[in-house]
Amino acid sequence: MTRITQLSSLPTTTQTLEEAPDYLSRLAPELLAKIISYLPQTAQQQLALTCRSFYPLVRATSVASFNRFLKKNLNTLPTFANITHLHLPEDKPIAVPTWKLLKNKFPNIRALRCVPPTPGTLATTFPALTHLSTPSLASLPPSLDHLHLEDPTNFTASNPDLFKNTSTLRSFSLKISQLSSLAFLASLENVTSLSLEVTNSAQTPLITAPLNGLKKLTTLKVTGNLKEVIAHLQYMPQLETLVLEHPSAGTDFTPLLSLKNLKRLAILISPDLQDLAFIKEMPELKYLKISHCPQLKNVQALVCLDKIIYLDLSHNFEL
């Protein structure tokens, strides 16, 4: 009963519903179903129109509870034709019956975070999909623009043809415990944005030759012990945005001297960075963030940045 009293703070139909998604996302699915049932049809439609990311319906503690919630309530809800972003639980595949209901209730999904029930269901269920976050490589839709993989299954990093059927891909993000090869990058020649994150500090050395094929790459984020990738920056002068997060001890930053077209640079949580001499060779730099670098002492090179408009030097204890 205490939780139901939260209904009093939900925006009414005479108020804006733009804040409702953030509020509803904190509620259990069962309570959410009750809330939606209290709303008039006009309010439900407005809610559907104003939610960019429809987290309220799908925020659940597990796939099992999510499936139970949908089985009980989804048929009674309206069709959300205006919803384009959907985030589903990711600990297990969604049940097939639930998956079919989702197709009917959310027919125009373009951005999806989920584990599909079986191979082949992504492309057939959501044909307009352009943004995908999933741990599964099964049957990726050919229309994808953005793909995020986190500890993916069936991921063979040494396979240069791994993404040969996703030629439309422009943005690729990978988070993995350990990366054995960069050969898979050979089939990502059209990407303009790349993020590589390794969570295991005992990362093995990598051959970086596949990076040479990323001629269109302008944005790169590197997180973790990927010294070889940072060393390869000297061969990537086309980069405009670079983020180096938690580089390992002993990282050499001199390859950054070759990034003369760089406009945005962030170096975060670096144990060895002591000076910013490399930014002298970055005449186009506009955004600079250097944070949580405990050894940083010399920032005299900042005087060379004629175009700088954003500067963040927070949490550098020696400054």
- Write out the two tokens for 94: 């969604």
Measured distance CA(160)–CA(86) in Å, rounded: 31
Contact 190, 216 (CB under 8 A): yes
The per-residue pLDDT for range 39-74, each reduced to its tens digit, is 555 444 444 433 333 344 443 334 555 556 656 666
What whole-number percentage of the chain has pLDDT above 90?
39
Computed over every residue of the chain, the mean pLDDT equals 77
Domains and CATH numbers, the chain: 1-128 (no CATH), 145-319 (3.80.10.10)
Residue 107 has phi, psi (to 5 degrees) of -75, -15
Q: How large is the angle between the packed helices 63-73 and 29-38, nearest 10 degrees?
A: 30
Residue 141 has phi, psi (to 5 degrees) of -60, 135
Q: How large is the angle between the packed helices 63-73 and 96-105, nearest 10 degrees?
A: 50
The per-residue pLDDT for range 205-228, each reduced to its tens digit, is 888 989 999 999 999 999 998 999
Contact 67, 94 (CB under 8 A): yes
The letter for the amino acid at 67 is: N
**Run means of pLDDT, 10 residues per run, the chain, 319 residues:** 34 36 44 52 43 38 55 67 73 73 78 75 78 77 86 85 86 91 92 93 83 95 92 96 92 94 96 93 96 92 94 84
The confidence score (pLDDT) of residue 115 equals 78
- Angle of CA points 254, 233, 174, to nearest 5°: 130
